[in-house]
């Protein structure tokens, strides 16, 4: 029973909450009634069995609770700022998907800070608890609760509409949504702090969101490309950590354990995204990921093609992080000397001053060139800059290996 409710939680949370919000016109109340509906499911389903359509049961239950509360509190509510929604009244049956999109666009409105957008999306759309969201960003639960409350207050007081934006704004707003989804995935893919390398609740949440967006906007090429990128990266998730918890680089991973089903799905989505229009940033990133997924080994990767994809990506999305990855690919195509040269201009970039991958990449080139003292310095620098324990273990091992050659 608990499993059935957990499954319904994962699958239907966003539908139940977004539909209820359309009725309550208050995100706090919608959240409360949604939670109550799940609590009631735990009891009722025990006695009556699991309904044929758990999502519809939960939505109806949450709606009825909301209607009761509305009747009870109508006087009090008149003084509260309400969510601005379109005044159309529709049944809950035909408008489910639309309501989830409304919720997503509201949570990622540009008038909210990025931190607030991510927190609201994780809490309201993915259904993570506030302590879970807090843990992802290493802030105390009370701080995260305050951040979420403040954001919900702003939505109500500034009247950020609960609405899917019109056609003239849609592309821009979809890009903002995708950025939030991408950020959630990358935060989970290499958790910035703590003992876990991967936070699966975050990566799964991001993939769930990307799948939903793709389902609702199947012809949006950028959405398709992002889903492809996430699936291709997630396919390698289980092989990034050795049994002893050590970080495994792409070059060391057991490629036979990569998830071929996810890779195939990612590749076909990528093909679809590339057919539709000139490649977007996510499509290029996905194409690079796909080349890695197809390669029989690290050495036998199509580095030529990967370097040219990074060249294209740099034009579309000039970023020092992309330049760093391009330098790694050049190092593989033309050797560590060329890689080190490609890296040199980045050393002065303030945006990368505390980016441990830069020091770690430089250390690796220096190690391969057998420039031992410089490699030691670079590994020590990388260690000083990372807080992820799995990565620290890896860097410490490399450091002692290099120190033995001094």
Partner 1 sequence: MAKYMILIYGDAAQWDAMTEEQWQAHNAGHAAFAAKAGTRVLDGRQLENTPTATSLRADVHGQVHTTDGPFLETKEGIGGYYLLEASDLDEVLELAQLLPELNYTHSGLEIRPVVERG
Q: How far is the CB of 163 from partner 1 (least distance, A)?
A: 8
Other C-beta atoms closer than 10 Å to the C-beta of 87 total 5
The gap from C-alpha 354 to its chain's centroid, in whole angstroms, comes to 22
Q: Is the dihedral of CA 186, 316, 358, 113 positive or negative?
A: negative
CB 164, min distance to partner 1, A: 11
Specify whether the CB–CB gap between 374 and 405 falls below 8 A. Answer: no
Q: How far is CA 387 from CA 186, 196, 325, in A?
A: 16, 11, 21
Question: Please, which residue, 160 or 395, has the CB nearer to partner 1?
Answer: 160
CA 228 to chain centre: 13
Rounded distance between C-alpha atoms, residue 197 and residue 200, angstroms: 9
* SS3 per-residue string spanning 98-145: HHHHHHHHHHCCCCCCHHHHHHHHHHHHCCCCHHHHHHHCCCCHHHHH
Looking at the Cβ atoms of 157 and 348, the one nearer to partner 1 is 157
Least distance to partner 1, CB of residue 319, Å: 22
Q: What angle is formed at CA 109 by the lines to CA 104 and CA 113, rounded to 5 degrees?
A: 115
- In terms of CB distance, is 11 or 163 closer to partner 1? 163
Q: Whole-number minimum distance, CB 160 to partner 1, in Å? A: 5
CA quadruple 154, 159, 160, 164: dihedral, nearest 10? 150
Where along the sequence are the contacts to partner 1 (CB under 8 A)? 81, 84, 109, 111, 157-161, 163, 165, 169
Least Å distance between CB 7 and partner 1?
A: 36
Calpha distance 235→295 (Å, rounded): 14
Do 203 and 237 meet the contact criterion of CB atoms below 8 Å apart? yes
Which residue number, 45 or 162, has a Cβ lying nearer to partner 1? 162
- Distance between CA atoms of 53 and 75, rounded to whole angstroms? 35
User: How far apart are CB 166 and partner 1 at their closest, in Å?
Assistant: 9
Length of the chain counted residue by residue: 406
Q: How far is the CB of 110 from partner 1 (least distance, A)?
A: 8
* Cβ neighbour number for residue 296 with a 10 Å cutoff: 8
Contact 197, 247 (CB under 8 A): yes
Q: How far apart are CA 340 and CA 390, in angstroms?
A: 25
CB of 173 to partner 1, least distance (A): 10
CA distance 156 to 152: 6
As measured in angstroms, the least distance from the Cβ of 159 to partner 1 is: 4
The residue among 169 and 405 lying less far from partner 1, judged by its C-beta, is 169
Q: How far apart are CA 207 and CA 50, in angstroms?
A: 27
Nearer to partner 1, 110 or 335 (CB): 110
Nearer CB in complex with partner 1: 149/354: 149
Nearer to partner 1, 173 or 276 (CB): 173
Between 114 and 169, CB nearer to partner 1:
169
Q: Hey, what's the torsion of the CAs at 255, 256, 260, 262, to 10 degrees?
A: -50
Max intra-chain CA distance, the chain:
78
The distance from CA 56 to its chain's CA centroid, rounded to whole angstroms, is 28
In terms of CB distance, is 162 or 282 closer to partner 1? Answer: 162
CB of 84 to partner 1, least distance (A): 4
């Amino acid at each position: 029973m608990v499993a059935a409710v957990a499954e319904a939680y994962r699958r239907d949370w966003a539908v139940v909450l977004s539909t209820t919000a359309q009725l309550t016109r208050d995100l706090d109340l919608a959240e409360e009634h949604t939670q109550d509906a799940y609590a009631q499911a735990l009891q009722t389903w025990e006695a009556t069995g699991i309904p044929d359509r758990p999502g519809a049961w939960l939505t109806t239950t949450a709606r009825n609770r909301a209607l009761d509360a509305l009747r009870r509190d109508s006087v009090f509510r008149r003084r509260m700022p309400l969510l601005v929604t379109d005044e159309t009244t529709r049944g809950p049956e035909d408008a489910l998907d639309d309501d989830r999109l409304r919720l997503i666009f509201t949570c990622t409105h540009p008038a909210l800070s990025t931190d607030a957008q991510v927190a609201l999306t994780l809490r309201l759309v993915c259904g993570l608890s506030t302590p879970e969201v807090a843990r992802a960003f290493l802030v105390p639960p009370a701080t995260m609760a305050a951040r979420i409350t403040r954001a919900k207050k702003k939505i109500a007081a500034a009247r950020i509409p609960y609405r899917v934006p019109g056609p003239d704004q849609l592309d821009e707003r979809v890009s903002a949504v995708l950025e939030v989804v991408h950020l959630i995935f990358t935060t989970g893919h290499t958790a910035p702090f703590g003992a876990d390398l991967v936070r699966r609740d975050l990566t799964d949440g991001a993939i769930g969101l990307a799948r939903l967006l793709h389902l609702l906007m199947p012809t949006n090429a950028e959405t398709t490309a992002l889903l492809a990128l996430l699936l291709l990266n997630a396919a390698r998730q289980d092989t990034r950590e050795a049994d002893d918890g050590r970080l495994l680089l792409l070059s060391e991973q057991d490629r036979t354990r990569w998830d071929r089903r996810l890779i195939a799905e990612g590749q076909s989505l990528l093909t679809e995204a590339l057919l539709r229009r000139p490649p977007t940033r996510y499509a290029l990133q996905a194409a690079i990921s796909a080349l890695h997924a197809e390669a029989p080994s690290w050495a036998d990767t199509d580095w030529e093609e990967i370097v040219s994809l990074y060249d294209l990506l740099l034009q579309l999305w000039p970023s020092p992080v992309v330049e760093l990855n391009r330098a790694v690919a050049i190092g593989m195509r033309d050797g560590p000397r060329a890689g080190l040269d490609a890296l040199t201009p980045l050393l002065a970039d303030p945006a990368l001053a505390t980016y441990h991958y830069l020091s770690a990449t430089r250390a690796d080139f220096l190690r391969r060139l057998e420039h031992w003292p410089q490699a030691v310095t670079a590994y020590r620098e990388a260690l000083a800059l990372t807080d992820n324990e799995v990565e620290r273990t890896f860097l410490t091992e490399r450091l002692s290996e290099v120190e033995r050659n001094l």
